[in-house]
Amino acid sequence: MSRRIRLGMVGGSKGALIGPVHRAAARLDDRFEIVAAVLSSDPAKSLADAEALGIPHGYGSTAEMIAAGGLDAVAICTPNDSHAALCIEALDAGLHVICDKPLANAVEDGRRIADKVRETGLVFCLTHNYSGYPMIRQMRAMIEAGQIGRVHLVQASYRQGTLATRVESGDIPRRLRWRLDPDKGGTSHVMGDIGSHVHQLIGYVTRLDIASVTADLGSLVEGRMAHDTGSALLRFAGGAKGQMLATKVAHGAENEMAIEVYGDAGGLRWRQSRQEELSFVRNGEPAQTLTRGSPYLEPPARHACRLPPGHPEAFFEGFANLYADFAEQVAARLEGRAPDPLATVIPTAMDGLAGLLFIDACLKSSAAGRWQDVEHAA
């Protein structure tokens, strides 16, 4: 096999939510070796935590870890407000970066990262993990191939019930606390945390730009400061329209992410709770259910499958697809060859910047009560 990519991790200690997911995703396809980590600002504690996780080296800072050498890439799983400094530090050191979403809280920070990526030409992956699902890649490939014709209408949503009651009045875990703090988690919690996924997914499958938006962001639970619900109407460049909802007050909704896209020749629907399936209707014909792993899928979808249909793959595998594609791109650089083109469709810093610009427009629209143009990421 190709040599394993030597990865350093920043953030994501044991109690964390997403750090363990990054590690499992990195392990699944065996293309990484996690050789170092910054799990605490106290070097001794970081070393102890690393040891507990079976990671050879623990450091008290990213600078130390980088200085120690031996890394190909860095994974960043820290609170949003720290992404810019850490990403830039790693990129400046010539390291490829895989960073948890959202790219940043502030548009300005996101732009600095995107600029640095462009400047250094290094590989950068933003872990909008839903784009790792095979049936999402199938959806993207089918739309690109014109199978539903010109896109008219998009509806997308992400429902959770995690903030359906006023949980923050109690004793909440640290991993939730920073997310609800506007300084660390961003001005609009719901939009940064899950609305950003919806925005990215829409762009990923349709490749359309949102030209303008009218949004209503806020909190529906009495006494809450953080936004728990964001709702928006969308107008795309070219005339299509859309609607999106991101909410955390939907009791019983367990990361219900869903997207449907209708064009002049057909429609496609997907929802995460049935991640193995993609519903496809050609005008006037019976609905078809396409399934992950099937031989009739498009190459980008087959590329993202490990198992035949009916041996379901899910969240870890979708996440791992981003890691695998990142590994392929990094390996190609290390080996001086072109990467597998099917591995080049993972979310980038530019996608992350587009997300921040969209949230910014939503905030402005919500405050002004009218349509707001969305600045184009460039």
Residues 137-176 that bind a copy of itself (CB under 8 A): 148, 152-153, 155, 157, 160-161, 164-165
Give the 3-state secondary structure of residue 282: strand
Backbone angles phi, psi at 156, to 5 degrees: -140, 150
* Nearest-approach distance from CB 53 to a copy of itself, in angstroms: 6
Q: Pick out residues in 271-290 that bind a copy of itself (CB under 8 A).
A: 272-273, 275-276, 279-290
- Tell me how crowded residue 197 is: count the other CB atoms within 10 A of its CB: 23
* DSSP secondary structure, 8-77, as one string: EEES--TT-SSHHHHHHHHHHTT-EEEEEEE--SSHHHHHHHHHHTT-SEEESSHHHHHHH---SEEEE-
Q: Pick out residues in 221-280 that bind a copy of itself (CB under 8 A).
A: 221-222, 229, 231-233, 235, 239-241, 243, 245, 247, 249-256, 260, 262-264, 266-267, 272-273, 275-276, 279-280
* Nearest-approach distance from CB 341 to a copy of itself, in angstroms: 23
Contact 106, 188 (CB under 8 A): no
* Nearest-approach distance from CB 3 to a copy of itself, in angstroms: 9
* Nearest-approach distance from CB 51 to a copy of itself, in angstroms: 8
Give the 3-state secondary structure of residue 224: coil
Q: Pick out residues in 303-322 that bind a copy of itself (CB under 8 A).
A: 306-317
Residue 251's H or E segment, with its range, is: none
The correct pick among 94, 115, 177, 296 for binding a copy of itself (CB under 8 A) is 296
Give the 3-state secondary structure of residue 297: coil
The correct pick among 145, 173, 369, 378 for binding a copy of itself (CB under 8 A) is 369
Helix axes 107-120, 349-368, angle to 10 degrees: 160
* Nearest-approach distance from CB 226 to a copy of itself, in angstroms: 15
Question: Given the complex with a copy of itself, which of 121 and 284 has the nearer CB atom?
Answer: 284
Q: Pick out residues in 179-218 that bind a copy of itself (CB under 8 A).
A: 214-216, 218
Residue 353's H or E segment, with its range, is: helix 349-368
- Burial (CB < 10 A; 0-12, 13-18, 19+), residue 361, is buried
User: Residue 195 and residue 189: Cα distance in Å, rounded?
Assistant: 9
Question: Given the complex with a copy of itself, which of 41 and 243 has the nearer CB atom?
Answer: 243
User: Residue 75 and residue 98: Cα distance in Å, rounded?
Assistant: 5
Question: Given the complex with a copy of itself, which of 250 and 304 has the nearer CB atom?
Answer: 250
Preceding omega of 102 cis (within 30 degrees of 0): yes
Question: Given the complex with a copy of itself, which of 237 and 314 has the nearer CB atom?
Answer: 314
* Nearest-approach distance from CB 85 to a copy of itself, in angstroms: 28
User: Residue 128 and residue 341: Cα distance in Å, rounded?
Assistant: 19
Q: Pick out residues in 34-63 that bind a copy of itself (CB under 8 A).
A: 51-54
Contact flag: residue 21 with a copy of itself (CB under 8 A) = yes
The site that binds a copy of itself (CB under 8 A) totals a number of residues, namely 91
Q: Which stretch binds a copy of itself (CB under 8 A): 95-103, 185-193, 199-207, 369-377?
A: 369-377
* Nearest-approach distance from CB 5 to a copy of itself, in angstroms: 12
